[in-house]
Chains A and B, each alone.
Chain A
């Protein structure tokens, strides 16, 4: 099955700086890559996603890039704010089943 690795496991940045979280996947058949934000004790919430026919997608301060050849994708958060502090999970999925294979998560702390 699919194996998703996520790095780093923890990340601290100063408010206003950028944060980058990277994920790699193993199965070249994966073609849908969502990112979820989970605040303590709350549900995972979809913040951005990308499909394999696109190399980059941006939504305000959040962007995701995908390199299909290298089988990795990254989340970029610019101008970070304290409310961005949370655990972020990447996932990979294939059209055939829509099972999500999640990474192990990155705990992001934005220091005011």
Chain B
């Protein structure tokens, strides 16, 4: 089966600019996750969708980050305006459903803020 697709792979922007990331989960996976992975750390959950609804966005900095999953398939994550501390790898993952299911990760987008 095709894996989780993400784009772009790399992005360099200046602080205060905006950026968007795209994710296409594995076909049939109801649950989609966005993680932020800072160098040397484990992934930190930003937001979790179940189909097109938000399950958990408690760690999403909502003043600058937003995400949507229209039609319950693809998802986009946006940062506006970006700060230096947003430099990280943004990973998208999907699972068949909730409840003790393996999560499958995409290759991520490496974001550098100048």
Q: Is the CB of B42 within 8 A of A89?
A: yes
Which of A51, A97, A105 has its CB near the most chain B CB atoms (within 10 A)? A97
Q: Is the CB of B42 within 8 A of A105?
A: yes
A36, B93: Cα distance in complex, Å = 13
A105, B106: Cα distance in complex, Å = 18
Hey, what's the 0/1 contact readout for A78-112 against B, CB within 8 Å counting as 1? Answer: 00000000000101011111111111110000000
A42, B44: Cα distance in complex, Å = 16
B91 at the interface (CB under 8 A from A): yes
Query: Which residue of chain B lies nearest to A32 when distances are taken between CB atoms in the complex?
Result: B100
A34 surroundings in chain B (CB, below 8 A): 102-103
Q: Count how many pairs of residues, one from A and one from B, have CB atoms less than 8 Å apart in the complex.
A: 63
Evaluate whether A89 and B43 lie within 8 angstroms (CB atoms) in the complex, with A44-B91, A97-B56, A99-B56 already known: yes
B16 at the interface (CB under 8 A from A): no
Q: Is the CB of B103 within 8 A of A100?
A: yes
B31 surroundings in chain A (CB, below 8 A): 98
A104, B97: Cα distance in complex, Å = 25
A43 at the interface (CB under 8 A from B): yes
A31 at the interface (CB under 8 A from B): yes
Query: Which residue of chain A lies nearest to B56 when distances are taken between CB atoms in the complex?
Result: A99
B64 at the interface (CB under 8 A from A): no
A45 at the interface (CB under 8 A from B): yes
Q: Can you add 20 more A-B contacts, CB < 8 Å, to A95-B98, A96-B99?
A: A6-B42, A34-B102, A34-B103, A36-B105, A42-B107, A43-B4, A43-B107, A43-B108, A44-B105, A45-B105, A46-B103, A93-B100, A94-B100, A98-B97, A98-B99, A98-B101, A98-B103, A100-B103, A105-B40, A105-B41
